[in-house]
């Protein structure tokens, strides 16, 4: 059975390159375990950790591709690919956090223009597996295989939408790689003051 889950989140939108002309990346919540989602499904922690760990191979090979909207089948359709997942991790609260890079493919260009025009999009996992009904929800079973994370208009997990970062924030993120720790704290305070004042 094809299983899709969508999360609308406040993502960070990051433009690479000193002038912001490089690739755009979205960062934020991709999935959540042990919580009932809008589709009435619960993904157990052990299954999600296993699948996130296995997905690292695809990320390392730059084969962790996603599409603009879910297809009707589990296959990755190269003519619909819009992005590639560049990072995927999880925390102890059950959140699966990720980063995707928008590609210059036809669907990637559509996604880029949606983001440029302030359109909020969601992230949705796609996988195959079976479900077991438990009370008022369905539990994803051990045979689950995570296949992709697609960008969609209507997600099922609460909290998965992108926000554009200003050039100041992007510059700060890039500069911290070479800053001394005491300077990072000082520059971060300046940046926070600028946006909260």
Question: Which pair of structure tokens corresponds to residue 36?
Answer: 């009932």
Buried b (16+ CB within 10 A) or exposed e, 83-110: bbbeebebeeeebbbbbbbbbebebbee
How many Å from the N-terminal Cα to the C-terminal Cα in the chain? Answer: 51
pLDDT at residue 166 in the model: 44
Strand 95-102 relative to strand 81-90: parallel, antiparallel, unpaired? Answer: antiparallel
pLDDT at residue 192 in the model: 56
Closest by alpha carbon to 10, among 32, 30, 38?
A: 30
Every domain of the chain and the residues it spans? 2-165, 166-197
pLDDT at residue 190 in the model: 66
Per-residue pLDDT of the chain (197 residues; tens, 9 = 90+): 666 665 555 666 666 655 455 788 998 889 999 998 888 899 999 999 999 999 999 999 999 999 999 998 899 999 999 999 999 999 999 999 999 999 999 999 999 999 888 888 888 899 999 999 999 999 999 999 999 999 988 755 555 444 444 445 555 566 666 666 666 666 666 655 554 44
Residues recorded for the chain: 197
pLDDT at residue 163 in the model: 44
d(CA 148, CA 39): 18
Q: pLDDT digits over 5-41, tens only? A: 655 556 666 666 554 557 889 988 899 999 988 888 9
Is there a contact between 57 and 77 (Cβ–Cβ < 8 Å)? no
Q: pLDDT digits over 92-101, tens only? A: 999 999 999 9
Question: Which pair of structure tokens corresponds to residue 191?
Answer: 């940046």
């Amino acid at each position: 059975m094809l299983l899709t889950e969508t999360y609308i989140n406040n993502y960070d939108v990051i433009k690479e390159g000193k002038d912001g002309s490089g690739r755009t990346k979205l960062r934020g919540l991709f999935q959540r375990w042990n919580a009932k989602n809008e589709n009435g499904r619960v993904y157990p922690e052990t299954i999600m950790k296993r699948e996130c760990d296995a997905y690292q191979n695809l990320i390392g090979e730059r084969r962790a591709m996603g599409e603009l909207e879910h297809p009707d089948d589990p296959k990755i359709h190269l003519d619909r690919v819009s992005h590639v997942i560049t990072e995927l991790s999880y925390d102890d609260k059950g959140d699966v956090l990720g980063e995707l890079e928008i590609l210059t493919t036809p669907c990637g260009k559509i996604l880029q223009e949606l983001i440029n025009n302030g359109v909020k999009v969601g992230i949705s996992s796609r996988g195959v597996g079976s479900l077991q009904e438990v009370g008022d929800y369905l539990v994803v079973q051990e045979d689950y295989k995570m296949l992709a994370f697609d960008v969609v208009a209507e997600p099922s997990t609460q909290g998965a939408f992108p926000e554009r970062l200003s050039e100041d924030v992007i510059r700060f993120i890039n500069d911290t790689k070479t800053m001394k720790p005491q300077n990072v704290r000082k520059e971060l305070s300046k940046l926070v003051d600028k946006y909260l004042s």
